Amino acid sequence: MSSPCRVFKTGNHAVKLITVLQNDFRSSAEKPPPKPLLVSTPCEEDEFPVLIFLHGFVLYNSFYSQLLQHISSHGFIVVAPQLYTIAGPDCSEEISDAAKTTDWLIKGLAHVLPNNVRPNFSKVAIAGHSRGGKVAFALALGYAKPSLTFSALMAVDPVDGMDKGKQTNPPILTYIPHSFELKMAALVIGSGLGGLKKNLFFPPCAPEGVSHQSFFDECKAPACHLVAKDYGHLDVLDDETKGIRGKATYCLCAKGKAREPMRNFVGGVMVAFMRAYLDGNMEDLWTLRDDPEHAIPIVVSIACFKE
């Protein structure tokens, strides 16, 4: 019997987590980023691919620190902007700000990285969770025009509104199969409990009709869809999320027994996908495709690959 794929465990790179604030840039020669950033990077002298990761609705980028470090430990620089602290239903501004942040990276990212760590801007991926997944799709579909070219798109339990017919502006889903005109491979990760209500007072965090299945249905090949059967919409977050918003994450959505298994699953799948479509190394991704029951350390209810 085979064992779980190595991508679900911490990688071989030592990792540094860097908070980048706009007032850190006092020199007129260095332009601050459009938004505060959380950067997770390998520490060794080398050149690494870049992942831009967009947080979910009214969440903090710091809530994803363990996920970002897992990904970085496998050899990726991860940049997570704090797009807003308060937001309404319209995410047009988030799309614009995510594009502006992407543009800033070209000249600005090197200034915040450890010495001799170099970003490889020929290998860039865009990803997001929840509403951030919708924004990632929007960028990949050309709703904004960042200067960098994305080679891979990843969405973790993406959400396009409250329900079918109640999409937030701008609506991304068209409900026409294979209608997304993407110029890159797409990965959609879903949560099996995301469509369930936590209680009578709150709606599902990832309602059916505007979440992962609908996004995947509109993707053309190459695309992957994996769903964690026994985990919820927010189980990708850090084990401990502090403050009022952090405490709210424990009671808003249906959830699994622990966050770590879901977080390691998401991080591992993202690493396998980026190795495939940024580095051209398909081995780990095909292992997940060919033997999901043994290669993936949690139960998945869907493991679908469009090739």
Q: Please give the positions annotated as active site.
A: 130, 157, 233
Rounded distance between C-alpha atoms, residue 128 and residue 139, angstroms = 11
Q: Cβ distance 207 to 163 under 8 Å? A: yes
Tell me the sheet residues that pair with 16.
41
Rounded distance between C-alpha atoms, residue 265 and residue 235, angstroms = 10
Question: In terms of DSSP bridges, do strands 300-306 and 223-228 run parallel, antiparallel, or are they unpaired?
Answer: antiparallel
Residue 106 has phi, psi (to 5 degrees) of: -55, -45
Rounded distance between C-alpha atoms, residue 6 and residue 261, angstroms = 14
Rounded distance between C-alpha atoms, residue 283 and residue 59, angstroms = 34
Question: Is residue 292 reached through a cis peptide bond, with omega within 30 degrees of 0 on the bond before it?
Answer: no
DSSP 260: H
Q: Which helix (H) or strand (E) holds 106?
A: helix 92-108
The number of beta carbons lying within 10 Å of the beta carbon of residue 74 is 24
